Amino acid sequence: MTSTRDDRTRLTRRTLLKSAAGAGAAAATGALAFPAIVKGQAETLRIGHLTPRTGFLGQLGDYGFKAASMAVEEANAAGGVLGRRIELIAEDSVNPGVAVTKAQKLVERDKVLCLLGEISSASALAIAEQANRYKVPYINTGANSDELRGKNCNRYMFHVEGSNTMYTKTIGRWQLSKNLIKGAKWYMLTADYAFGHDLYRVSSRFLSEHGGTVIANDMVPTNTPDYSAYILKIRQARPDFVYINLAGTDQTTFLKQYREYGLSFPLAGGVMDTIPFWVAGIDALSGHWQSLWYHGLAVPAAQAFTKRFLGKHGMPPDNQAWG
């Protein structure tokens, strides 16, 4: 598509980071002292929300969408951002190809001033390329790949979500403190797309640098329904730990089936999203995991957000909703 955006829209972009931050602040505090919207003021601020709401990451994306919608509702109820209403235009970015098409549609047809969201690192990269092309800010709320913060980052891309290195070092330094890495054998299962490839690179390097040995790494296609072949290989290999570089429903499926086989090798993981663990059930959980945020934090702002989300949706928010 050829960009048809005019100068007036380009100038409006300068307020977008302040606008997006204002929506987030409304979600955190419940009220903002912005002036009421009056007739004749400037047009509505349109924000494009892209995240997978179907597919193996769909359950995560739905929480992100619910929270983004709630943030906009709360900001508008408090008077908008600098007296201007916010409109959230949401799209399902089920894969990178769709993400590109939807990003182009949001910018070209819907005239959004900012792009927000995503979970898949591959789709986030695709969106970032479009943001750079159109010179539109893009705020990544859920994609983890280090490369999105490094060689594939650009001046229009900003991050709320932590990177794979941050997650890996969080669990890794705890493991080091418990003397669990040096001399231990690690068996990895890795999601076969950009997120998993990057997480395997980061986590295997950390373990190796601190005396661990990665004895195997199986690349797992997304949406794999049956993990029995992988679990049987793990049982035969007899590792000290099983390290999971999976995401979405693949985490849930593996955890349930691993429990059914009754293997005793402890689990750990490079990244944890709370929803797949909730779905797997408490009996399927074992090992040691880390999370950027969870609804039980004893922090006033987190408690207030959890209360509002629970009141609106009848369930607690997860880390993607927080992002």
**Which residues, other chains included, contact 143 with Cβ-Cβ below 8 Å and sequence gap of 6+?**
118, 119, 120, 121, 123, 124, 125, 161, 195
pLDDT tens digits, residue range 228-270? Answer: 999 999 999 999 999 999 999 999 999 999 999 999 999 998 8
Domains and CATH numbers, the chain: 7-162+295-322 (3.40.50.2300), 164-284 (3.40.50.2300)
User: Is the pTM value of this prediction over 0.75?
Assistant: yes
**Tens of pLDDT along 122-139?**
999 999 999 999 999 999
According to the model, what pLDDT value does residue 229 have? 98
pLDDT at res. 271: 82
110-120 b/e with 16+ CB inside 10 Å = b? ebbbbbbbbbb
Q: What is the mean pLDDT of residues 197-217?
A: 96
The Cα 213–Cα 181 span in angstroms is 8
Q: Which tokens in the block code for residue 23?
A: 């929506």
DSSP notation for 65-109: HHHHHHHHHHHHHTT-BTTB-EEEEEEE--SHHHHHHHHHHHHHT
Give the dihedral sign, CA 194/252/59/73. Answer: negative
What integer best gives the mean pLDDT of the chain?
88
Residue 290: what pLDDT?
A: 86
For residue 42, the model assigns a pLDDT of: 57
Handedness of CA 137, 89, 121, 293 (dihedral sign): positive
- Is the pLDDT assigned to residue 101 strictly greater than 90? yes
Tokens 């890794």 belong to which residue?
172
Query: Is the pLDDT confidence value at 4 over 90?
Result: no
Residue-wise pLDDT tens digits, 5-59: 444 444 444 444 444 544 544 444 343 333 333 443 458 999 999 999 999 999 9
